[in-house]
Amino acid sequence: MPTQSRRRRLVALVAALTFVLPGAGRAASVSEPTIELWRLDCGSFITKGLTDSCYLIRHEDTWMLWDAGLGAELRGKRSTQKNGSVVTVDTTLVEQLARLGLQPAQIGIAALSHVHGDHVGQAASFPSARLLVGRADWTMLTASSPSAGLEPARLASWIDGKAMKELIDGDKDVFGDGTVMMLAMPGHTPGHHVLLVRLRDTGPVLLTGDLYYAAAQRARREVPVHVHDAAVTRASFRAFEALAEATGATVIVQHERADIGKLPGFPQPAR
Ligand SMILES: [Zn+2]
């Protein structure tokens, strides 16, 4: 996307978000949807010193997952990946949802920041969920010979058409009320999204996906070696930081251990 149109999109987005902000231009008679946000443990990168986070969102009666972490088969095991990184999973998504009294079939939406293996690992536990994913990532995942590290088998139900999916071009207002928005921030992958969640008490929260992977790397605006497109990543950094500043959002880098504490400890939700 050319810089000019990106900027126009950002201005329009911030204006739209301001309009839907509680107390900002909203009629007093309109009741705000009840939204809660939990951070879920989706594994650890032991040698890299990083965590893997997923999130659960309740929007009124609809339950939504954001990202699906490392595979459940890693639970209680240490696995060395091809690049030498050692990973593990302490508890599965299904186990954590059970602590909230939720069955997998109650998850209505499974949305992905992108299709890398540490974000789709447990998606197959939720075949009744509608999958939301960037179209460009879907194209990459379902290519006849997907690049190394992609695991299309994890999303077989949606690839085979047994489960519902929606491929996202650009931004996606998930519930149509501006409270939960997938925002296109490509570069790490071609169809990468971040998630903006507007909470009544906590205020706006921005979940980075893998636009950033660590707080220090975000501070340096450092483009990792292995990204799909470095220039596009830099443009997304600029768009993200402008949005973070305009909204005053709490920014959570999903792989950053230090950011786990920005939300209440599970099983407490942020509201
Ligand atoms: Zn990741």
Q: Is 75 helix (H, G, I), strand (E, B) or coil?
A: strand
Q: How far is the CA of 120 from the centre of ligand 1 (A)?
A: 10
Strands 193-199 and 180-184, sheet pairing:
antiparallel
SS3 labels along 36-74: EEEEEEEEEECCCCEEEEEEEEEECCEEEEECCCCCHHH
Spacing, Cα 113 to ligand 1 middle (Å): 9
* pLDDT at residue 126, rounded to an integer: 98
Distance 260 CA to ligand 1 centre (A): 15
Residue with tokens 């309740």: 58
Per-residue pLDDT tens digits for 36-64: 999 999 999 999 999 999 999 999 999 99
Q: How far is the CA of 15 from the centre of ligand 1 (A)?
A: 30
Bridge partners of 167, per DSSP, are: 133
**Residue 244 Cα to ligand 1 middle (Å):** 20
Between the CA of 211 and the centroid of ligand 1 the distance, in Å, is: 9
**Ligand 1 centroid from CA 150, angstroms:** 12
Q: How far is the CA of 162 from the centre of ligand 1 (A)?
A: 26
Tell me, in angstroms, the distance from the centre of ligand 1 to residue 188's CA. 10
154 phi and psi, to 5 degrees? Answer: -65, -25
* Residue 177 burial (CB count, 10 A): 16
pLDDT of residue 24: 45
CB 247 within 8 A of CB 17: yes
Q: What is the DSSP letter of 268?
A: P
Give the per-residue pLDDT at 51: 98
Q: What is the reported pLDDT for 14?
A: 67
Ligand 1 centroid–CA 210 distance in Å is 5
Q: Which residues of the chain are under the pLDDT cut of 70?
A: 1-8, 11-12, 14-30
User: What is the Å distance from ligand 1's center to 76 Cα?
Assistant: 20
